[in-house]
A and B are shown apart, each in its own frame.
Chain A
Amino acid sequence: MSAAYIMGAYEHPTRKAEGISVAQLHMQSAAGALADAGLSFDDVDGYFCAGDAPGLGAMSMLEYMNLDVHHVDSTETGGSSYLIHVAHAAQAIAAGKCNVALITLAGRPRAAGMKSAKMPPSPTPDTPFEGLFAPSVVEMYGMVAARHMYEFGTTSEQLAWIKVAASQHAQHNERAMLRKVVTVDDVVNSPLVSAPLHRLDCCVVSDGGGALVVTSEAVAKSLNRPLVKVRGNGEAVKHPSAGRVDLTTSAGAISGPRAFAEAGVTPADIKYASIYDSFTITVLVALEDLGFCEKGKGGAFVADGNLISGQGKLPFNTDGGGLCNNHPSNRGGMTKVIEAVRQLRGEAHPAVQVPGCDLALAHGTGGSLATRHGSATLILERL
């Protein structure tokens, strides 16, 4: 497969988008990523977006941006969609379908007044069987955490270390919503939203967006930017399996090994990891499924600052992640890729930049970990 490169990456600076439409946020993000790559809208010949984009698939945003492309993809796996888009863009480029793929995400749940996300009724066969109980997103992930604690003895204090690490990083990010450094005690003493999850186990609700530009090798080498190669990718969907529910393993157990196999590297080779962090438990389950530690040992792995840059073995989410920085449109996959690109380029904040970061992983968990979700893993390399 001929190589594809992430040449443009842009995180929208807003965290509360008063008076800015979702379409405008998408296009501002697109403009930012194209400028970052040194490209223009006229160069784009492939467009990728997910369910946060207004309208049916890619059509309305293509109309709004007045773009003519010959490759579109609106694969939807919730917040992990954008990692799959990077993978699909790489595949499309390898197949000769496009050369400059634009991927956008944006949303404004904060300005729109979303407090606690409830699953909206949708005409799927599963809807009444869950909707009658109106489970909140926190309750869904709370059930995952409770089961993990039951099976493996994971503790709230261990989960708290994930938030502690994110806050250690967020203190250096002037755009982060939560910049205050917190302790394990702060997390476990924050109010229980739905036991066993505390308020500080949850990510922020924020507006904003982000965009990526994935290009062919020929385009990449014509640009004056560091080369970030898509070296491996994997995607998978997991669901309740008609009643054979297993809450402690995610689809990352499929997407991760596939990405590592394609890249020809192992978890031990990874210098930096962006791990989807809608909740602390989302990170813990993913780290196990990706093979950074054994299943059930995630609690011990994240404890004592092991995820803190400059201190632990696996620096993660050095922008502060969804837990502290930004979770635009309630979808954290885009920002995961963006921070991985910053790390590989050496453009992360100096206080959290991983020295010699030439191999990074970005991982997304979209939908609901407690029911149906899509996982996507990217292995990215700085050439």
Chain B
Amino acid sequence: MTLADLAAVNFDALPFWQGTEAGDFLIARCESCGEAHHYPRAICPFCRSEAIRFVPASGKGVIYSLAVTRIPEKPLRVVAYVTLEEGPTIMTQIVDADDAVAIGDPVRVDFQKHPEGLTAAVFRLARDTN
């Protein structure tokens, strides 16, 4: 099974993937308790309401943690958790990072088509713009 196959049967989160495909970064927010959560569920993980709405997120965040892998002659690989302005901390990748990439760095969302079909929400360093 590809990741796209798996995503296709997880109906809860389909709007998220439709969003990244269209270049929109959406976050699941509960209309009952007001809390944003990630990954998106059909039922609020905090108050258990089903009143979930996908709303545009700012795309701004801060690196919560990261692991940096250096492979000769390849771009720096940075797997990270990013804390979004809206609250949730999500797993992602920092693309086109420089060697000084660190916890606390401000980042901004971007989109990257995965070979298996889904479009990932990745982040880029935004030290000057946030």
Contacts and interface: CB of A to CB of B under 8 A. Distances in A.
Given A142-B67, A143-B65, A244 B89 contact: yes
Contacts of B39: 125-126, 129, 242
Contacts of B17: 128
Contact of B37 (A144, A242, A247): A242
Given A146-B65, A146-B67, A243-B37, A132 B118 contact: yes
A241 B35 CA distance: 13
Interface stretch (A47-55, A133-141, A160-168, A313-321): A133-141
B14 to A, nearest CB: 11
A130 interface: yes
Contact of B38 (A123, A150, A242, A371): A242
A245 to B, nearest CB: 4
Given A121-B6, A139-B79, A243-B89, A147 B67 contact: no
B93 A133 contact: yes
Given A123-B6, A240-B89, A135 B41 contact: no
A247 B81 contact: yes
Given A133-B93, A242-B37, A242-B38, A128 B69 contact: no
A140 B66 CA distance: 9
A95 interface: no
A183 interface: no
A193 interface: yes
Nearest to B81: A245
Given A147-B103, A242-B41, A127 B6 contact: yes
A144 B64 CA distance: 10
B91 A135 contact: yes
Nearest to A132: B120
Interface in A62-82: none
A201 to B, nearest CB: 12
B51 interface: no
A131 interface: yes
A146 B81 CA distance: 11
B70 A192 contact: yes
B10 A143 contact: no
Interface string A197-212: 1000000000000000
B56 interface: no
B21 interface: no
A99 B41 CA distance: 43
A240 B114 CA distance: 24
Nearest to A131: B3
Contact of A242 (B1, B46, B65, B66): B46
B55 interface: no
A236 to B, nearest CB: 18
Given A125-B41, A129-B39, A242-B45, A146 B3 contact: no
A194 interface: yes
Interface string B80-93: 11011001111111
Contacts of A35: none
Nearest to A144: B65
A125 B13 contact: yes
Contacts of A132: 3, 114, 118, 120
A243 B10 contact: no
Interface string B42-82: 00011000000000000000001111111000000001110
Contacts of B7: 128
Given A128-B6, A245-B81, A194 B69 contact: yes
A182 interface: no
A242 B88 contact: yes
B91 A129 contact: yes
A241 B45 CA distance: 8
Given A129-B90, A242-B46, A146 B66 contact: yes
A195 B67 contact: yes
The 6 closest A-B pairs by CB, nearest first: A243-B88, A142-B67, A245-B89, A242-B45, A147-B65, A242-B37
21 contacts: A125-B10, A125-B41, A128-B17, A129-B38, A129-B91, A131-B3, A132-B114, A132-B118, A133-B92, A138-B67, A143-B65, A143-B66, A143-B79, A143-B81, A150-B103, A150-B104, A193-B69, A196-B67, A240-B89, A240-B91, A371-B91
